[in-house]
Structure 1
Amino acid sequence: IGASILPVAPDVPLSQHDLLVNARGEPQLANELKKEIASADQVDLIVAFVRWYGVRLIVEELEEALGRGAEVRLLTTTYTGSTERKALDQLAELGVKIRVSYDTAVTRLHAKAWLFHRKTGFSTAYVGSSNITRSAMLDGREWNLRVSKAASPALFDKVATAFDANWASVDFEPYDPGRDADRLDAALGRGRGDDTSDALSGLTLTPWPYQQEILDAVEASRSVQGSHRNLVVAPTGTGKTVVAALDYRRVREQRGGKLSLLFIAHREQILDQSRRTFREALLDGSFGEKLVGGQRPTDGTHVFASIQSLHSLGTAQLDPAAFDMVIVDEFHHAEAATYRAVLDHLEPQVLLALTATPERADGLDIRKWTDGRTAFDMRLWHALDRQLLAPFQYFGVADETAAIDQAWAGGRYQDRKLGELYTGNDIRAALILKNVKRIVAEARSMKALGFCATVEHAQFMAERFTSAGLPAVALSGEDPQSVRQEQIRRLRSGELVAIFTRDIFNEGVDIPDVDTVLLLRPTESATVFLQQIGRGLRRHPDKDVCTVLDFVANYRKEFRFDLRLRALTGIPRRNLVEAAEEGFPYLPTGSHLSLDRQSREWIIEHLKQSVKTNARALRQELSLISQTQEERPTLRTFVAEAGIELEDVGKAGGWAALQRAAEFDVAPPGPEEERLQKGVRRLLHLDDVERIDTLFDHLRSGSLPTGERERRLLWMALVTLWAGKAAPDSLEEAWAGLRSCPALVDELLETLPILRDRISHVSHPLPDVDVPLEIGATYARDEVLAAFGELRPGRYFSHQAGPWWHEPTQTDVLFITLRKTEKDYSPETMYRDFAISPELFHWESQNKTAIASTAGQRYLNQRTNGARVLLAVREEKLDPWGATMPYVLLGPANYVSHQGERPIAITWRLRRPIPAEVFERFKVAAA
């Protein structure tokens, strides 16, 4: 009597793993979930769909849990419109905290998981295939893995961390039935394909993380590089118009709320859609007038104009300085006569150019209007990871049917000679047809583009495909535009299965239906290779994947196959051999790369010869490049031509040493060059404009500064250059040692401008303390200490790891490594540190820190005691080149909450969000 009624335990003990499949004679998922809920102190669930018949199976258990003080959090989506508002409203009424992703464009959430947190430590999770639907929880053929924290604490923590990251993500927004019901209904309708209203939503338009990366890069181009004419290259479907609208909003705010605008596109439909996006961004339903057809603006301050109407209007009637900001959509048309006349005439303060395809078949460079620069170019693998493009399945097929060495001349394979080898080669045509039929699911239904060596080769392939029952044609630059459009129409309608060409589809031709790409000639240029692959990567409702068949020969060692693989996968040159040997296990989401046995052997052997970045290989490459140029290559030219990074040069001994090895005229080594060269390599992380400019200016002049801030900035560089024991005792001595190595001074003078151009986001001065550090910039540990003036003669610093307290400024600097390995960290120091969101960070103190300790009290009372907390974070201990990885200074943070002690788990709120590009890197590292 009076004894509490204990909840019924799950059939699977809390300390064990298991697999639930809803099979007869085994526990149903619904019943196990009920029992798990009954003993949980917190329930977290993430599912794509929530339906009423699934919710009602567990509603009583959830109500009981909430009644006793448990917290329940739900993440879900509006994808395909499958979620039911009634189900969410019922859960919200109970007290469940709900966050919804309203994105219906792509499947952003495949994850399904339940987490049951228990203060006893016996937490559990279910990870698998089940949404909250009746069939998934009772009788559907579902697989759900039950994970026990007691059995695998690291695995459970990884699931919990992933949930927390999604909960804090901007992708998911809090749901309140009283406020958000109409918005949810509209999003569910869009997910089902229903029509929705054209009225403004009234909601603040915010960027996706990848859009914020673009905005950051454009801002850096303006603020750091001083370029106000910027080109953005990103795939169709990225939301470039949203980026343009948000960029306009930002620039207008920076300029006090007034900014005239001209938005140029080539179709009225694009103008209408773009104007609506700007109205959403500005919360102004009357923003913008159109200049198109017979419509003329009355005010003329914010104009959305078709290029045809602008051209008809004539430049004589258009004041060159009439518009503060000009935005041009589909900028790859810029070299067309209509665009060129307008762009040459206009003189805006700000130009923003948008395109998915910057390359043109005529070879003209559209970047002449953007200072020769591209502010942002979304890499293929980033777009694939974000599901902005259709995933690819690449198949490398060995081709031994032609003696292609006969086609090598002048340092490359000659198209004409290749065409002679391929045209009429029935054995090769049969090999291609055999593999198309073997690999493509339904060859008769495919929509393929085949890239050939010559026009005659394209015609031959079209004939052979047609003879094999696969209707195909060949197109060339000689064909009229009307003929090209008709054949493209036939391909899209299914009358044709393939179009073969030499070059006309390298440029920005938009055929989203293309689902197969046939690479029938060696293409060394990574740019051309990506253009060809890209023709099949446009998303389309009827396309799950783009199939790429690459017929690979045993190429000469001079042929740079590595450039293609790097462009396709994002794998650095130095890691390609290992990736190929392991079968390319880490590719963008949904993509696959497969090589048959023979092509795999050829490619691995070829990569072993071509991807070396040691001193000997780079010296040979430098010699070859210098033979093809009239002037001696600069460091910038060499890095670009060789397809390498500055870090590769540093690891190979440095630029000065490479030039000497190639017998260039370089100053002889100074007395400290060998030691300082390693320091130059360690300086390659510099991305703080003030540091770069200060070091550059004083290296060029040879003088030392007298001001304290500038002296500290130089000390920050010199402690990295002279790192280790027996270092100079003074700034003057360290500076003199560097100046005694003129070749290294010249190397730094070439290196620093390249580092400046690599900066992709704007950093900000550290507030409230006179220390030359920038929020968002990158620093080695010793550089941070030097910035605070902590200098020790002879051997600069003694601090090695973890938090560092600076008494004079009342500052804690928390040095944090996200990805810890057993090799470098003991079990006691494998702290769970991760970015929850761009604003929130989870950090664990040292395991000896108790709440009552001096440090513990300083952390927990940070908001009231005047102490300053700075977070400095890196992904891992070593960078990909084997050097110590520096830290990104995330800047000041305020205490939010904590749990436990020894260690204390603290959530900090950053005063400035983590830059989008950095946050994406940190998410990957923490995972």
Structure 2
Amino acid sequence: MFEEQIERIRKGIETAFISKHEVSDIMYQPQLVLNNPTEKSKVIATLQRELYRCDGFKFSVAFITDSGIEGLLGTLKDLEEKDIKGQILTSDYLCFTEPKALAKIAQLSNIELKIYRTQSDGAEGFHTKGYIFSDEEVYHIIIGSANLTQYALSVNKEWNTKVVTTNQGAYAQTIVGEFEEMWNSPASQLYDDCIVEYTQEYEAKKRQLQLQRQQASIQSTLSSYVPKLKPNTMQVAFMDSLDNLVKDGKKKALLISATGTGKTYASAFGVQRLQPKRILFIVHREQILKQAMDTYQKVFGNKAHSMGILSGNTTDASIKDRDFIFATIQTISRDHTLNSFSKNDFDVIIIDEAHRTGGATYQKVMQYFKPKYLYLGMTATPERSDNFNVYELFDYNIAYEIRLQHALEDRLLCPFHYFGIADLKIDDESVKTQDFSRL
């Protein structure tokens, strides 16, 4: 009988590794065991067949879940009735193995169950997935990627190799020897000796993961939450006025708005109606750039347009390809920077602190660029002491004007109190000589 089995093994090897046209018993052929819905094959079906034909078995799997063992439970109970013995070795790795599943296995009198404690002294990592079935002097061995979980046995893409070997074969002796070494390791503890402690570890890990998921969910919600911004009364009036100016063909407009009333937001809301593809936002101080870009991201949406900063200290990569560019006047006015753009590159150009536009750098930029829609200047103080006419530069097109008093009356700003010094007497001669004109 044994010689007949050896011959079947040889024939099976020839079919699997020499020529598929060699005729042999499929049960003795080395095979790839996988889940293939087209072929209607599942890993669990192969395990069940091997269990029913074996006279003993040894499993070494890193993970066991309740849903995974449930599919084999009927078969294992049948083996219990036939008094066919088995050994199952699993692990506490990542606390993934479910105590509920282990309890069901432990109820079977024909199975010895151990847990490999990866954190114990001298323990090693444990990630095996092996199934050994003995049939008199022959072993059917399945080694691969499938743990005892429902998805691994029925759904997932899993690659497992089944081989048939005599108990004298080097492969069989190596596999069985490895199993026995792990089974007899001090790190492998009997179910009854460690299940209470492991269950506590499992529940603690479960709580930790739940907390992490909750925190991740909250963080994801917060990061993805974009508050629905609504323009205030000043901004709505400005939007309507700007819209009318553009429809009338005006190429320049001025927003005169007291500090703190939301000029940057107003410009973003107003410009948004024009549906521009490219915008240039010019400021005189680098510290304002990030704030301005953040404002436009909130109004337009983070993913709607690519945005970047152009300044002496910070220039984003591929800045010339960005839809919305936020630049300092000092950088954009340089010849090599200015000439790297075409005159018609932008649909709208916004100039913050527009009362400064009488300066040579601003004049240079405004004479170079010809935006598709308009130049929009923003300032709280259009009147200048050097006789430069800001109103004239923007063709006297005032899109909206709200001064400090009106902003207070409309409750766009908080009321404030100020104190003045009626008489300042300075006795220190060194202090008298200081220049207080900038205070």
Q: TM-score range by the shorter chain?
A: 0.3 to 0.5
**TM-score when normalising by structure 2:** 0.43
User: RCO higher in 1 or 2 (8 Å CA, sep ≥ 6)?
Assistant: 2
Q: Which entry has the higher C-alpha Rg, 1 or 2?
A: 2
Structure-1-length-normalised TM-score? 0.21
